[in-house]
Amino acid sequence: MSGLSLDDLGYRFDDEGVLRTVKDGKTFEFVDQAHYDMLGEAVDEEIYKRLVEDCGLEKKLLRPPGKVDDYEDEDLAFVFVSKDWKKAQKLLVLVHGSGVVRAGQWARRLIINYNLECGTQFPYIKRALALGWGVVVMNTNMTATLDQDYKYSNSPVEHAESVWKTYITPSKADQVFLVAHSRGGTDMADLKKHGLDERVNIICLTDSPWFDIPRALWDRKTPFFAINFLARGSVKTADYAPREYKKGFVQDLYSGTKTHEFSSHCAIDAIFYILQNLTLENHKETMVEAQKLVHKEPEKEDILKRGREEKKKDGDDDGEPKVKKARQEDEAGPSTSS
């Protein structure tokens, strides 16, 4: 890691969450891969800081209960939790996807090229806290450095397992909600075990086509709901037709965008509608209402892209993010191996 801050690199986020140069207020321009990687690491640290300062979360080392060891702090991964994670009646667990993204992020490319609103998990965290829910933010890509593996977090699945044992199982929540992006869905493989906890009853996925409900969950006393907001087709796609609930069924819905990285941003209203309203009796009706909410969601993405086009016309920006020319180590789409 370079250890350089955004300020060291001459950047800052403005009041609208747009990354700009300190010197002249210009938006990000790609220089080379090394510079982009350094900037990305500085963004990671900035997001960590804002999770605490802006979202009010606490940074916690990931050491499962009952573990007695002599590991130093630097040997351990960390996560972020709300102050009331243990006693809140409802608990929201956020899981990012693959690549270089870390806790609090959906997509580094969106953070750097668009804004914090669409690229981070901040909107989910703040909305959950406003509803009085507890929040746990996983950091599943924090598995190793060049020199060592992190203890209790050697892989994304082990990280998730450690988070379950440390923060989800001990919580007093009546309901546990999961929102997972892309590979984050497969990181929830531990649902084979922890999904038997009757409190874990809804998982909303954003463009995570690999997720299947483990067979072990089919015999729960209460239903387990899984909704996958995909970034292909349209709201009229036949496979997205709302259906009645049945065991082992994953309801696919349109996310409101055909861009993989934008799926979490565009589906947020529909996701929270589901988390707040879904029951066994109203499953189909809730899916219908959720799907209505994504009718207008493409406007979010369109506004951002139109904004870049306007800047291009004004000579302030070059339109589409130059980072597309860089090596794609960010959260990748479902057509790749992420």
Residues known to be catalytic:
182
Distances (CA, A) of 198 to 122, 128, 193: 28, 21, 11
Q: What's the one-letter identity of residue 170? A: P
Instruction: Count CB atoms within 10 A of the CB of residue 280.
Output: 11
List the one residue out of 94, 294, 121 whose CA is nearest residue 205. Answer: 94
**Cβ atoms of residues 250 and 211 within 8 Å:** yes
CB atoms within 10 A of CB 53: 9
8 Å CB contact between 105 and 179: no
Six-digit token string for 132 = 């009085």
* 229 contacts: CB under 8 Å, gap ≥ 6: 204, 205, 206, 207, 253, 254, 255, 256, 263, 267, 270, 271, 294
